Structure 1
């Protein structure tokens, strides 16, 4: 059973479902969630399999499609979907499917398109699907704020593990997400930092969908919500979009 958590307010004006990124967990977003609660927005979130408080081998997601089904079941009927990094990929793919549609979509530094590293090696190693290795995320590239990077490194709930089957699914789903991007028919914003070296931001140039508005942030790295240059502007963009 996946760990899930709700942050509810007395008089909600909207609901937001949050999907976190690779190697982290939903609890890292508590400051962001509090800002949303201050806007009278209910927040629903969970920890991915093998992440945070959810069970499973660290970094092992056996089926992305089970996650899509979980969102469909756990999300309220009327909701905005927010995903960061791997969570952005999951949120994009979910929105492309014939499932319960969010009314709006927020993609924060999403992993879309060609993000594959060591793809040939993974194919060779596919006979060992549960074999784990480092996810290759360099902590110094997480944020433009060194204090945030230090917190990331020292957080015992964060890990750098990923299994062969998780990586293969992630690469495949990222390519499908970009290929089927036209299927997103709801208002969408995509936000990313110009200095992001964790995702392949150049793939965003291939997006051809007038429902998706793309915003880039100068000097921003992967986590714009923790950026010393752009965190306020990042939240204002989201606030303007959802209110």
Structure 2
């Protein structure tokens, strides 16, 4: 998998691993990464299979457990883990199953619980696991910043593809992640927008784990790091959590 790191101008830094969401890639986070670098945080990131610069059919993740295995070998001894949307699901599941747990976990609009959209379609085409279809994401549901939505639409490395096997695994893993959320036994920050239509934020109400602090943002949509109302507060909450 394509991976890259961004180091701050200091030798005494914290290390954070960042996992992007569905249909996008790690390069969309350079502004966020710069904010972290400026605060002395090194960021390591990668593109999921079928995304960004990693080879493979667009939107096709053959086996989620290969991603968890990759992370097992990729992360260092002391680190922080950040995941957005699908990346938040992957980060949650990894923390639930690994012995190499991060010091802290940050979940941005994670895909947890019941996210089964178009499940009838998947059942219909289950005999074609590598069949691609649109992930159904409306770019204008992502952010309150229309410029950011336009950039998303025009970005040649962004796509709306997902395969049947990827969607089925994503649905299954999201339900398991919520069911086993008590296994997240480290300080965790879960951030989400109250106007998010991409993931099912109602599922977050089922989380009773005292290690997880949930913070909601009024008027916020799916990408709070691109929100005209909440971007600054979103960054501040994360930086406070990292202190």
| TM-score, with length taken from structure 1 | 0.98
Indicate whether 1:4 and 2:7 are aligned.
Answer: no
Deviation at 1:70, TM superposition (A): 0.7
TM superposition outliers: structure 1 runs of 4+ over 3 Å: none
**1:156 aligned partner:** 156
**1:222 aligned partner:** 222
2:4–2:46 CA contact under 8 A, matched in 1: yes
Listed as ranges, the matches of 1:77-226 within 5 Å are: 77-226=77-226
Alignment partner of 2:225: what SS? Answer: helix
5+ residue gaps, structure 1: none
1:12–1:41 CA contact under 8 A, matched in 2: no
Q: How far apart, CA to CA, are the structure 2 residues paired with 1:72 and 1:188?
A: 19
Per-residue deviation, residues 3-49 of structure 1 (Å, max 9, x unmatched): 00011233233100000000000000000001100011110000000
Per-residue deviation, residues 152-192 of structure 1 (Å, max 9, x unmatched): 10101100000000000000000000000000000001000
Q: How far apart, CA to CA, are the structure 1 residues paired with 2:76 and 2:38?
A: 19
Q: How far apart, CA to CA, are the structure 1 residues paired with 2:227 and 2:15?
A: 25
Q: How far apart, CA to CA, are the structure 1 residues paired with 2:237 and 2:161?
A: 32
Q: How far apart, CA to CA, are the structure 1 residues paired with 2:11 and 2:234?
A: 25
Deviation at 1:77, TM superposition (A): 1.2
Per-residue deviation, residues 122-167 of structure 1 (Å, max 9, x unmatched): 1231110100000000001010010110111010110000000000
1:12–1:42 CA contact under 8 A, matched in 2: no
Indicate whether 1:39 and 2:39 are aligned.
Answer: yes
Superposition CA RMSD, Å: 0.8
1:109–1:190 CA contact under 8 A, matched in 2: yes
5+ residue gaps, structure 2: none
| TM-score, with length taken from structure 2 | 0.98
Aligned residues: 242
